[in-house]
Structure 1
Amino acid sequence: MKITAFAGSNSRSSINKKLVTYTASLFNQPNTTILDLNDYDIPLYGLDLELEKGIPNDVLRFSNVLKESDLLIISLAEHNGAYATVFKNLFDWLSRVDGTKGFHNKPIFLMASSPGGRGGASVLEIAKARLPFNDGEVIDTYSFPNFPSNFNDTDGITDAELKSILLDKIENVKSQLKF
């Protein structure tokens, strides 16, 4: 089983990257890749740019990683109640790659976190509704609230109830995909 995980953020100290990295480790799958959007040079999408220069190589490279995966774990940053610009831009480019609408009909475990009590619930709902139109099969979701109070770099999730919920969701994803 090949898992690819990434955060919809370009912050070097992204709480969503910490959450998605931690979550991916709980799957205990040796073939797991954690992507960092900062490692991809992806210009701001525009039709004129696409017509002039085509799809950027790093978009094609990212798309190929998704295509070769059996499960995507994505944790989205929430900016003003919606996607972070870096994720929306990637999403726009991925939707332009020939032969796909973006996510190659891959199952997605979709997550979000925030410093606040809603845990990125707004962006999570937007993405849960939108990704199926772009060949993404959202098989479960997880909202993680109050990140600074409930997570540390040594132990991961420190709140027992929130950790139990995540572990149950991981088991659900594994059973759906027959891990």
Structure 2
Amino acid sequence: MNRAGPRLGEPASLWRMRIVPIASVMLASALPLMLPLVASSPVLPPMGLLFFLCWQLLRTEMWPVWIGLPLGLWDDLFSGAPIGTAIGLWTLASIAIHYFSQRIYWRGFFHDWGIAALLAAAVQAAAALIAHPHAPAGHLLGLVVPQIIVSALLVPLFLRLTGAFDNFRLKRR
């Protein structure tokens, strides 16, 4: 039978429903290693973390709370942080988003931006403290603050990209 388009009520592709969110976070975590950029300090925001937070904010019910474990391990393997850093911090961020989702029923764009920026800053600061426990505070602030500012400013872009990926994920055939 030759069909011109999707039938009414036809579900979206199951593989896209499951793979697109996970693949976007995993690719974003690995992307900084693929870019030909050499720097003495971190200049790129943690793109995997931003996609992870945006997916959690956009579709809180999509992933279980423990999804930070495997995705955080993947990020730890590519970021060079001590193994377990992103595992623990991403899981705590996931728990915090689920907590906020239960407490704030009507979230808007600025709520999501604030929650994502706050969690990204907390995760980056804690990761810097874990990676460099004996570094002076001034040195850590010089490393983390520019990256936190860039991350907070890029949250709307990542929310928009996550929405576009979600539209692709839910599109029927």
Q: Shared fold (TM-score greater than 0.5)?
A: no
Please identify which structure carries the higher strand content: 1
Q: TM-score, normalised by structure 2?
A: 0.29
Q: TM-score, normalised by structure 1?
A: 0.28
Larger radius of gyration: 2
* Higher normalized contact order (CA 8 Å, seq sep 6+, divided by chain length): 2
Please identify which structure carries the higher helix content: 2
